[in-house]
Amino acid sequence: MIRFDNIDQGPDPSDLKMTWLPGRPVSPKPDLTLSGCMEPCIVLLPDCRLFMVMRTSVGSVWYSVSEDDGNSWRPAEPLRYRDDGERVLHPASPPPLFALEDGRYLLQYHNNDGSMSSGPKPLWTRAYNFNRRAIFLAIGEFQPKAHQPIWFSGPKHFADSDGVPAGIQNRTEMGTYSSLTERQGDRVLWYPDRKHFLLGKRVTNEWLDDLVVPR
C-alpha cells in the first residue's frame, strides 16, 4: 500500500509525500501458484485502529487490523460474521467495505466461494461469468472487545445480472469496484453492471432493517 501523507493539503503533484506500507521488503518474484491478498479496503474504527478487508483467491474475504496507522498489521485471517462464526464467502473479486455516517459499516460481497460453475471449476482469471454475481450486502457493527472488531449480519440479496451477458466482452459480473455516497440522509451504492453500465441504487435504512448483527 501507499499512504499519501499530505494529500489533504492539496499539494502540487511534485510535492506529494508518500510512505510505502507496511514498511518491509516484498519479494520481486512472487510465486504465482500461491494464494494472495490484493485490493484492500480500509475503514477507521472508533478506537482509531484501521480495519482492512482484502480480496483473495481462496473462497472468502480476509482481513487484518493495524494499531499504528498502517505501519504494521496483524497476520491476515478469514473474515467471519462474528468471532468463531462462519466465513464470509467471496470469490476473487473486490469486497468493498464502507463506513456509514451512522457508525455502522456496509459490506458488499458475492456470498459464494468462487466455485459456481456448471462444469469444471474454471481458473479464477476466467471465472467472472460464473461467480462474480449476485451482489449481497451485510451490515457491520463495531465490537470493541472482540478479536474481529467488526461483526456482520447475514447476507441480503441486493442486485444480480441473472447471468445475462452485456457489452462487447459478454460479461455477467456485478458490483466489481463499487463506491458509496451519503448526503442529507440519502445513501446510494454505485456499482458496475457487467462492466458495461454504471448504476446507482438507494440503500435505505428501511431496506437494512432486517439485517441484524449478532451480539
Strands in the chain per DSSP E: 2-4, 18-20, 38-44, 50-55, 62-66, 77-78, 97-99, 105-109, 135-142, 150-152, 156-159, 179-183, 186-193, 197-202
Phi, psi of 64 (to 5 degrees): -150, 170
List the beta bridge partners of residue 135. Answer: 159
Distance CA 155, CA 6 (A): 38
Q: What is the pLDDT of residues 100-151, one digit of tens each?
A: 999 999 999 999 988 754 444 444 445 667 789 999 999 999 999 999 999 9
What is the pLDDT at residue 115? Answer: 76
pLDDT bin (cut points 50, 70, 90) of residue 157 is very high
pLDDT bin (cut points 50, 70, 90) of residue 21 is confident
Question: Contact at 8 Å (CB) between 203 and 98?
Answer: no
**63: pLDDT strictly greater than 50:** yes
The residues near 185 (Cβ < 8 Å, ≥ 6 apart) are none
What does the DSSP 8-state code read for residue 124? G
Distance CA 181, CA 162 (A): 26
Could you give the percent of the chain with pLDDT greater than 90? 70
3-state secondary structure of 89: strand
List the beta bridge partners of residue 99. Answer: 105
3-state secondary structure of 49: coil
- CB-CB neighbours of 189 under 10 Å: 22
Distance CA 201, CA 155 (A): 17
CATH topology of domain 35-208: Neuraminidase (2.120.10)
| pLDDT (average), residues 57-82 | 93
| Whole-structure pTM value | 0.88
What does the DSSP 8-state code read for residue 123? P
Could you give the percent of the chain with pLDDT greater than 70? 88
What is the pLDDT at residue 104? Answer: 98
What is the pLDDT at residue 139? Answer: 98
At 89, list the grid cell.
Answer: 464467502
- CB-CB neighbours of 120 under 10 Å: 7
List the beta bridge partners of residue 65. Answer: 51
- CB-CB neighbours of 98 under 10 Å: 21
